[in-house]
Structure 1
Amino acid sequence: MQHLKSQVWVSAVALSSVLLFTACQPKNDTTSKTESGQVATSSAANIPVVQAKVVPVELAQKQVCDEEGCTAYDIQTVKSNVAWIDNYFMQRLQKADPIAFSKSAASAATPEEETNPMDLNQSSSYVRYIGQHGNLATFSLQSYYYPARAAHGMHHQEFVTFDLKQQKRLALQDILLPNAEAKVVEELFNHNFNWLDEHDISREKFKLSDNFYYGANGIVFVYPLYELASYAEGMPELVLPYYATAQLIKPEYLPSLPQYPNQ
């Protein structure tokens, strides 16, 4: 679990730039009564101003045993002022760890004090709110699994960006202009050539990740463990600068940028 904490800390530092990308909402354009259940909105465009906090998920049993062994679960999600977002993550968590939510599995669980900690698998899932820019709100879904007595666990971080106007999650294909994917691959490779070359990643073998988030200076593509680098290097992040995306990304899914000379 110490390894997971360090990974989360690194991600938190790296993602602090995302907050620079967050749009400020004028006080006289918003309403907020989240304690009473009323959604905070921007009156100008009727877009929710997301407010969210991390809360633990109440499980019937935090430790569940089956024929493959015993697993301790730690699951935390977000409670926000946007109900459909909360429902989205609860459904994701339940689908990812159905045994943790199973009442029948919980009824057959072995009491925690009877399990040797060394023989206990660890499974953690965390959702947290990253930030909002206009009608785009980004969250992080982190997961970690450590098999008992293994050399190390496996961790993953998935970024989820919602279009608050359309009330849906944005896939990569939703933000790309038609027939732009091949050009995005080319531009991403070119802008990260030195790092990719150092890791012996050829242009022919390079593929686009569908895991992305909006950073301070560009769209950040995040790759799974082992796909581009060693386990020790974590999940690589490659940046496609915003100035290179004008003909690749739909205008409604790009931030408002300065007009630089000779651009």
Structure 2
Amino acid sequence: MKDKLSTAKHLITSQQHSNKLKPFKVIALSVAMACAVSACQKKPEPEVEQTQAATAEVGLNATVKDVPIQLPECEGEVCPEITIQHLSSNYPKLDQAVDLYVLNYVKNLVRGFDMTTVSNQQRQDEKSDGQNPVADAKAENAQEQDSTKSIEEINTQKAQSKEQAENQPDQLQPFVDQFLLLAQEVKQLGSSAKLSLFLKPQVLNPEGPIVTVVVNAENYVGGAHGSAAQQYFNFELESETLLSLDEILVKGQRAKFNDLAHQAFEQWIMATQPDMDVDEYQELWKFTSTDNFYLSPTDLILQYGEYEIGPYAVGLPRLVIPYKYLQGVIKDQYLPVQAKAELEKADAQKTEAQKANSANSDAEKSASK
């Protein structure tokens, strides 16, 4: 019983130290930012993008469905809440990437919990899971690209995607069972905490040419607070390719992009921590790059996780870089249509203004003669 109590206490507190948290760094931050930023205050809610309706004629046709996992009968207010959803679309590679992220998220959530259902092989597999969702998905789907696929090949790919979707509950169930074991441990301690797990894909700009799916994730496994994450998948319809950040940048422009991202980081500090010096903040929380990005209609957004560039209280930070600063940095074909139109309009206005200034200058010279 003593060992069981010790294990359960560890489970309740372990979540507070996840998501790349460095304990000594957080202690230092708590002292230095006791008034400016409290790790105990309620953090901002994750920003949720506006979903656009998919059309049947063109682009991504997708539905989001609950994964049919098995849950035991439970009564009372402390019963765990679990909702895991699956993306089903006309692009199997995208579905598979989202499924892989969902699976790795649940595996990593219960990793380290000394439950009897965790095998040694599972622990070994989890060591490398989920570090780079896009790279993981690319490796999973690695095969030669062919723009002239036969109908037979397309149907085979769809059949494989359907089979994977059907197998997803079986893949997830062992890790969901571990989560439920954790809930039982917490309940037996007399805790009133309700453990929860939510994974919900959301489709953005389905008409393409670049469609985006964001997976919104939340969990609570005891302790002072829960945890959240947002992972973006940017998918090029024509090539059926998941895009990494380096793939959308002009060759040789990564250094300039990083400079722009760092400037956006400093602007974010000034906006969210107005009472704190920018340099002082960066001594506590260094700028780091991320490949988790979203090409919104007006800006490129860099999405960070908890504790990556700030304390828990700031939530899920996102850095915003307007496209007007990214001309010549992002490949032209990856700029959203709306952004291209705005940039062309701005260029036209600039040209007209230069012509007007030149005409006025010529008129003034003629008048002075």
Instruction: Report the TM-score, using the length of structure 2 for normalisation.
Output: 0.51
1:218·1:240 contact (CA, 8 Å) conserved in 2? Answer: yes
| 2:255 pairs with 1:174 | no
Q: Using a 3 Å threshold, how does the CA distance of structure 1 residues 60 and 245 change in structure 2: closer, same or farther? A: same
| 2:82 pairs with 1:73 | yes
Please list the CA deviations of residues 196-238 of structure 1 after superposition, one character each: whole Å capped at 9, or x if unmatched. 3555237x94232211101232101112212223322211111
1:59 match: 69
| 2:240 pairs with 1:185 | no
Question: What root-mean-square deviation, in Å, do the aligned CA atoms of Structure 1 and Structure 2 show?
Answer: 3.7
2:302 to 221, 230, 235: 221
1:145 match: 219
The structure whose residues are more often helix, as a share, is 2
1:189·1:196 contact (CA, 8 Å) conserved in 2? Answer: no
SS state at 1:159 partner: strand
- Correspondence 1:7-18 to 2 at 5 A: 7=45, 11-12=47-48, 15-16=49-50
| Identical residues among aligned pairs (%) | 22
| 2:215 pairs with 1:134 | no
Structure 1 gaps of 5+ residues are: 1-5, 26-31, 33-39, 42-48, 64-69
1:54·1:76 contact (CA, 8 Å) conserved in 2? Answer: yes
Structure 2 gaps of 5+ residues are: 1-43, 74-78, 111-170, 352-369
| 2:159 pairs with 1:85 | no
Q: Which amino acid aligns with 2:302?
A: F
1:224·1:235 contact (CA, 8 Å) conserved in 2? Answer: yes
Q: Which amino acid aligns with 1:216?
A: P
Where do 4+ consecutive residues of structure 1 move more than 6 Å?
A: 112-115
1:97 to 98, 102, 106: 106
1:44 match: none
How many residue pairs match? The answer is 222
Q: Which amino acid aligns with 2:47?
A: S
Query: What is the CA–CA distance in structure 2 between the aligned matches of 1:62 and 1:171, rounded to whole Å?
Result: 40
SS state at 2:206 partner: strand
Q: Which amino acid aligns with 1:171?
A: S
SS state at 2:307 partner: coil
Deviation at residue 163 of structure 1 after TM alignment: 1.0
Please list the CA deviations of residues 161-205 of structure 1 after superposition, one character each: whole Å capped at 9, or x if unmatched. 101112121111111111211101212333553333555237x94
2:60·2:207 contact (CA, 8 Å) conserved in 1? Answer: no
Which has the greater radius of gyration?
2
Query: What is the CA–CA distance in structure 1 between the aligned matches of 2:175 and 2:259, rounded to whole Å?
Result: 50
Q: Using a 3 Å threshold, how does the CA distance of structure 1 residues 95 and 81 change in structure 2: closer, same or farther? A: same
Q: Using a 3 Å threshold, how does the CA distance of structure 1 residues 62 and 179 change in structure 2: closer, same or farther? A: farther
2:66·2:86 contact (CA, 8 Å) conserved in 1? Answer: yes
Q: Which amino acid aligns with 2:301?
A: V
Query: What is the CA–CA distance in structure 1 between the aligned matches of 2:176 and 2:213, rounded to whole Å?
Result: 30
Query: What is the CA–CA distance in structure 2 between the aligned matches of 1:209 and 1:106, rounded to whole Å?
Result: 32
Q: Using a 3 Å threshold, how does the CA distance of structure 1 residues 162 and 151 change in structure 2: closer, same or farther? A: same
1:62·1:72 contact (CA, 8 Å) conserved in 2? Answer: no
Higher RCO (Cα < 8 Å, 6 or more apart): 2
1:213·1:220 contact (CA, 8 Å) conserved in 2? Answer: yes
Query: What is the CA–CA distance in structure 2 between the aligned matches of 1:243 and 1:114, rounded to whole Å?
Result: 53
1:195 match: 268
SS state at 1:91 partner: helix
Deviation at residue 240 of structure 1 after TM alignment: 1.0
Q: Which amino acid aligns with 1:53?
A: T
